[in-house]
A and B are shown apart, each in its own frame.
Chain A
Amino acid sequence: MSHHIVEAKNLQHVYPDGTIAIKDVSFRITHGESVAIIGANGAGKSTLLQHLNGCLIATSGQIRIGDTQLSKGTLPDIRRTVGMVFQYPDDQLFMPTVFEDVAFGPLNLGLSGEEVEQRVTEALERVGAGHLRTKPPYNLSGGEKKRVAIATVLAMSPDILVMDEPTSGLDPFARRQLISLLREFQHTKIFTSHDLDMVLDLCQRTIILHEGEIMADGPTGEIFLNEELLAACRLEKPFSMQGCPICNGKTGTKKT
């Protein structure tokens, strides 16, 4: 199933104001892999992710999804393959009701009324937002919006799932729910997160981005053991690896 491969080659993005957000980024993610892209604020994570389905066009470099090179002509196909959850759900929800919003993608895929209905119901159930379907999105709480935004993408059953900080703003229960949902998702998934415990939980592979460059790319376990590297990139070990300050008063002193 080569069409679930995501490959970036020498990607560079310069914003119109001259900010070089990412420079010379290359990686290859194969089918079924679960990859986290982590890094400090402003490291370029969101910028990088938005290249994967052509929301941003690289200043130089290439993106390849499966056998298709990303270009103007292949964009519709690629957008069908790559489902993208944006960092701010407000940007993603624009229809008058939650139902219509989740139905927007499937309708664009040309599905019939019944199928759409079924997909929407299923997607909303999976993120635990079934009760919100008749509400207008602008009246939801932040976390509810986030869940609906995730449902809008799930309803399109993408082959590759790309998420920008999926757990930010979720309550602990919804976070757990999302983590198990993501674990069930068999295809390739790529996400950024500041929730390093989730990264440890879900991803075999982690890419560290620092000031627009890849500083490390490897097995998650190894990367989180390299304290020097983490410190250099303004990161910390996941809490679950820091030892509990209450139980044994060991490390963990860095926390406030």
Chain B
Amino acid sequence: MTSIHAAVIDLKRLELLAESDSAIHVIDARAKVLVTLVFIVAVVSHNRYELARLLPFFIFPAVMIALAGLPTLYLARKIALISIFVLMVGLFNPVFDRTILYQVGQWGISGGWISLFSLLIRSMLTVGAAFILVGTTGFTAVCQALERLGIPQLFAIQLLFLHRYIFVLADEAGRSSRARELRSCGKKGLGVASFGSLVGHLLLRTWQRAERIHTAMLARGFVGQFHAHRKSRFGMAEIYFLLGWSTLFILLRAFDITETLVASMAGVLP
């Protein structure tokens, strides 16, 4: 559990990235939220055996990471971590779906494998886009943007609290498991019994602590209003940003750029 703790602490770093001041960071959060949504819809709406047509979409994360100066390696590690979970979900695709779709030499590639890879690529793209959004905007600002885009305030606040709650839970989990480790003197502790009560305690403590944090927020005048400290408005830059990217995604979704490219290359090359 200590490693989960470390992973979450590491996740908090994502929010610190939002503090910087690159060209992408200063764009109004609403524009970034909308672009990310269009991107996710465009990527997810491909059919489950699609591979080649997904590849051009990597241009979005690549450009955003470069312009925002986000640490590539760090993001790649986070995405890889999530991909492991996706792999577990998609692992049975090759088992159930054995229809041969492609023939490479004597090897037949089944639909299951293709859909597994497609799933992986799609999750990398969407999770990456979400990370980039938070890393260039900050979670509070994302929630605020959602609210300003018309999502009920209640949902936006729930989202914000859920996000904070995860951190609180991880914090408490880290402490409890450390306390248990230290006192079990390198042995397995008292086994399942002590583990059960640890989890029970953990939930109670997390709940109590989340409540205390909420109290502290109320004590400082929180009445359910968001205040991102970066003040911005939806100007020309935002409109260009939104239209530019959205058009690209829609084009990529509607036309098979990869094929056209390959075909024209084939035309040029003798």
Contact = CB atoms under 8 A, between A and B. Distances in A.
B222 A108 contact: yes
Interface stretch (A96-104, A177-185, A198-206): A96-104
Interface string A118-147: 000000000000000010101000000000
A104 B220 contact: yes
A138 B223 contact: no
> Chain B interface: which size bin?
20 to 34
A55 B219 contact: yes
A15 to B, nearest CB: 12
Most buried by A among B18, B217, B225: B217
B209 to A, nearest CB: 7
A50 B215 CA distance: 10
A89 to B, nearest CB: 10
A104 B255 CA distance: 47
Contacts of B16: 96-97, 136
A79 B216 CA distance: 10
A96 B218 CA distance: 18
Nearest to A94: B213
B227 interface: yes
Given A94-B213, A136-B12, A138-B12, A53 B231 contact: no
A91 B223 contact: no
A80 B216 contact: no
A42 interface: no
Contact of B227 (A88, A96, A99, A107): A107
Given A55-B218, A108-B221, A108-B222, 19 more contacts: A50-B215, A79-B219, A91-B209, A91-B213, A94-B164, A94-B213, A96-B15, A96-B138, A97-B16, A97-B19, A104-B217, A104-B227, A105-B220, A105-B221, A108-B220, A108-B227, A109-B221, A138-B12, A152-B220
Interface of A: 50, 53, 55, 76, 79-80, 84, 86, 88, 90-92, 94-97, 99-100, 103-105, 107-109, 113, 116, 134, 136, 138, 152-153, 156
Interface of B: 9, 12, 15-16, 18-19, 138-140, 164, 171, 209, 212-213, 215-223, 225, 227, 229, 231
